[in-house]
Amino acid sequence: MSYPFYEIENKWRKYWEDNKVYKTDLSDDERKLYCLVMFIYPSGAKLHCGHWYNYGPTDSWARYKKLKGFNVFEPMGYDAFGLPAENYAIKTGVHPYDSTMTNIADIRNQLKNMGCMYDWSTEMMTCVPEYYKWNQWLFLQLYKKGLAYRKNAPVNWCPKDQTVLANEQVSSDGTCERCGTVVIKKNMTQWFFKITEYAEELLSGLETINWPEETKVKQTNWIGKSIGAEVTFKLENSNKEIKVFTTRPDTLFGVTYVVLAPENEIVLDITTPEYRDGVVKYMDSVKSLSEIDRTSTVKEKTGVPTGAFAVNPVNGEKVPVWIADYVLATYGTGSVMAVPGHDERDFLFAKKFNLPIRKVILKPGTQESDELTEAFTEVGTMVNSAKYNGTNSADALEKIIKDLEVEGKGTHKINYKLRDWLISRQRYWGTPIPIIHCPKCGEVLVEESQLPVELPYDVEFSLKGESPLAKNEKFINVKCPNCGTDAKRDPDTMDTFVDSSWYYFRYLNPKISDAPFDKALTDKWVPVDMYVGGREHATMHLLYARFIHKFFRDLGLTKSDEPFKTLIHQGTITNQGAKMSKSKGNVVNPDTFIQDVGTDVFRLFLMFMGPYEMGGDWSDKGISGTERFVLRNYELFKKYENILKNTSNKEKFNIDELSEAEKSVYKKINQTIKKFDEEINQFKFNTAIASLMELNNELSKNFEVCSDELKAYTLKRLVVLLGPVAPHLAEECNKIIGNDKTLFENPVWYAQDDAALIENSVKVAVQVNGKLRDTIDCPINSTQEEVKALVFANERVTKHTEGKTIVKEIYVKNKIYNIVVK
RNA sequence: GCCGGAGUGGCGGAAUUGGUAGACGCGCUGGACUCAAAAUCCAGUCUGGCUCACACCAGGUGCCGGUUCGAGUCCGGCCUUCGGUACCA
């Protein structure tokens, strides 16, 4: 016999669709469960195995919850703006709108064939004015609260193409991916969202959500809170000053120079004429370096002096001012005080350029006269630090900050590595920024009533020069809404992470036209209960979404503090060790497998592959295992066609009245229910399925001789367990055994009979010196004395203890008995 | 570089979170069924030693060291590899 998956799967998919089984009744939030997968980027590579791996198992979890009685909402949509569609347009001339729509149509088709419980009535895409209008609205709200602003920021610039490049378009050697020209950093005025305003809350909020620890740690490190002081160094012979941020004000007496980031705005102002050439040359050389290169701790340090001198506020000492690339303009104040004696990078820099190294904190157990061979960065006793000498450096740290504050030379300060969110892109395929630049009035907001600022279709795509919107006369030229003067629209579009930072609100009613989302519904359904997506989003998308959620809360649009209560990361499916991507040409298309073995088998295979959060390298080896699993189950149910109709219903059995074989089956089905429930609830699909396979093995041994009542009992339960992981098969088997009610329209879950799980004996492992010598069957909960009697009657054990002194005996109830001998 | 993961048989992986390492599946080997093959079913399968065999013994979770009666699991130091690193999403 073979398994007619094609007919079965099509039949049930059609049935579910025709009967609107997937449609969620959003008015019923009594047992609501919002289960969301990160929406899909509609690339030309279509749906690949990685997507299937993300969506299939998550849908199985959602189906499990549905069977358990939850009202589950599973939406699907398209993250449709973005760079690749625009690059494709430049390359082929196909308009991003057209290619995106084509891709969406294909992907929608593939998604529908997966047989997931998506509520297609709420399908959504971000590249239409109905959606992106609300990105613009969001922009205006942020602007009005002072959380959207413009400032200069460096971008990757290709001098040949005269265009901005994404990091992805810069090759690893720092050249333009298209033309090979060395890419430089160029400052441009850019829009930012002030995520830093929420830094503290983004940090503390992590404690309130059920997210993977690794992700919380990543976000914590990304936000990078550090506590210290901002200290002012006055410049000699100048009214200018340099503010530095330091986490170690206790080392202030050890400052022997000050370093500015090469991009720091005051660099050229303070550089003395004789150093000017060197400084300009150095600034230029830094332009082509990435931040990763610059901050590398293994890279040889570089830098040049400016000729200027700063005055150390604590001791009045004159120290030289340098510039060096290891100082970043984007962190802190863009300048650091250098303490080579107590900072590793400063130590290396000072050694290289022969700058003085001074010891101001004494390492415990060393002498003041000992030479420093490396930076000492821990706590010790203060030396060479005037009135602080002899005190503990941790105490001195606090004291020095207080003293600086009193003298007006510095302040207590908390710094974050987190930077404001740069949202403007010099590109076409995104949300236009709703700002008009007027020569008289400056930045003017587009009125809310005038939204959306529509993205014009008719634009020219070219590799070189300004972005398509900047070149589009009809779009860019506009009258100032304030004064009527000729003005220009902002030519930039928004980062697509803006789209994805609030989409989960809109899913509940994507057609609403007078608000970004339907507050009556979102008040009931948001936050999302389960959010599933890749860990590559740990620090960007997942942080931006939390930020915007908190902003909406502050506008009074939601009551919750966090968008995603529980988060799970699916692992990455790689192919030959590399992430699947169209550009690498290693994308595995699932469609051929679906044609060969059906979606249930494919879904089972993906889930059975390994731990969901781990992923793995793609291989279809072993798919026959899940094929056999499906076939075995199908044949089993076929064998007992209509058994529910012909057998009286029994919900519980007295285990003492069963035969040995029946007892074994009854125990196993109940153990399986428990195990499967626990495992699938935690997204442990591989072990959940393994438990079903164990049940199969048991049934192939002992099922035949069971009573019809027990057979009916078992099959009725097995079909429900199959429901989440092989939904089409389960629906079919449910019908075969004679149930008139469909599974997913009439969700049901059977709890295990706990009486069947009670064991009265247990195998205790017996070890001698930690080595297993035998296992002994003992009555459950035996005392040490009871077990000891059995242990020392056991030849395999005594063989290893004879003639030796027993030093110790350890007994762990129902588990292990270890004898230590000498 | 920095931040966060991962490393267990021929392969994918399991292990109640410090307590019998290798569940479940693939593959392979042998057997049953068949004229034969496929499919299916049954049995075996970490490595080495010694045995006709059962048994028994030793070793074994990337590497080195430590804690413990006991370590895949905890601690210290490495190696390899993957993801992110703020304009791919």
Over residues A51-55, mean pLDDT: 95
Q: What is the ipTM of this complex?
A: 0.94
Cβ atoms < 10 Å from Cβ of A213 = 8
Rounded to an integer, the average pLDDT of A498-510 is: 97
**CA atom of A5 to C1′ atom of B33, Å:** 27
Query: For strand B, which nucleotides have at least one atom less than 7 Å from a protein CB?
Result: 1-6, 11-16, 19-21, 23-27, 40-42, 56-59, 69-71, 81-89
Q: Closest nucleotide to A214's CA, by C1' atom?
A: B4
Cβ atoms of A581 and A168 closer than 8 Å: no
A572 C-beta less than 7 Å away from strand B: yes
The number of helix segments (H) and strand segments (E) in chain A equals 28, 32
Name the percent of chain A lying above pLDDT 70: 100
pLDDT digit string, tens, across residues A451-466? 999 999 999 988 788 8
Q: Does residue A375 approach strand B to less than 7 Å at its CB?
A: no
pLDDT of residue A447: 95
Question: Which residues, 6+ apart, have CB-to-CB distance to A396 below 8 Å?
Answer: A250, A382, A385, A388
Under 8 Å between Cβ of A487 and A524: no
Q: Which of A158-167, A303-312, A316-325 has the lowest mean pLDDT?
A: A158-167
Lowest mean pLDDT among A400-414, A560-574, A769-783: A769-783
| Spatial contact of A409 and A232, defined as CB atoms under 8 Å apart | yes
**Average pLDDT over chain A, rounded to whole?**
92
- Scanning every strand, the nucleotide with its C1' closest to A624's CA turns out to be B26
Give the pLDDT confidence of A21-37 residue by residue, as tens digits.
999 999 999 999 999 99
For the stretch A586-607, pLDDT in tens is 788 888 899 999 999 999 999 9
Return the pLDDT at A385.
92
Give the model confidence (pLDDT) of A715-736 as tens digits. 999 999 999 999 999 999 999 9
Q: Give the nearest nucleotide to A541, CA to C1'.
A: B89
Return the beta strands (E) in A592-750 as ranges: 615-617
Cβ-based contacts (< 7 Å) between A 505-544 and strand B: 534-540
Q: Which of A83, A287, A298 has its CA nearest to residue A174? A: A287
**What is the band of A1 on the pLDDT scale with cuts at 50, 70, 90?**
low
pLDDT per position as a tens digit, A136-152? 999 999 999 999 999 98
Could you read off the pLDDT of A201-219 as tens digits, one per residue? 999 999 999 999 999 999 9
- What is the dihedral angle through the alpha carbons of A159, A161, A162, A167, rounded to the nearest 10 degrees? -80
* pLDDT of amino acid A206: 95
Q: Is the pLDDT of residue A583 over 70?
A: no
What confidence score (pLDDT) does residue A479 get? Answer: 95
Strands of A208-311 (E only): list them: 225-235, 241-246, 257-260, 304-311
pLDDT level of residue A431 (50, 70, 90 thresholds): very high
pLDDT range class, residue A371, cuts 50, 70, 90: confident
- b (16+ CB within 10 A) / e for A550-562: bbbbeeebbebeb
- pLDDT of the residue at A344: 84
Beta bridge partners of A229: A246, A412
Residues 661-720 of A with CB under 7 A from strand B: 684, 686-687, 689-690, 693-694, 696-697, 700-701
Strand B atom within 7 Å of A289 CB: no
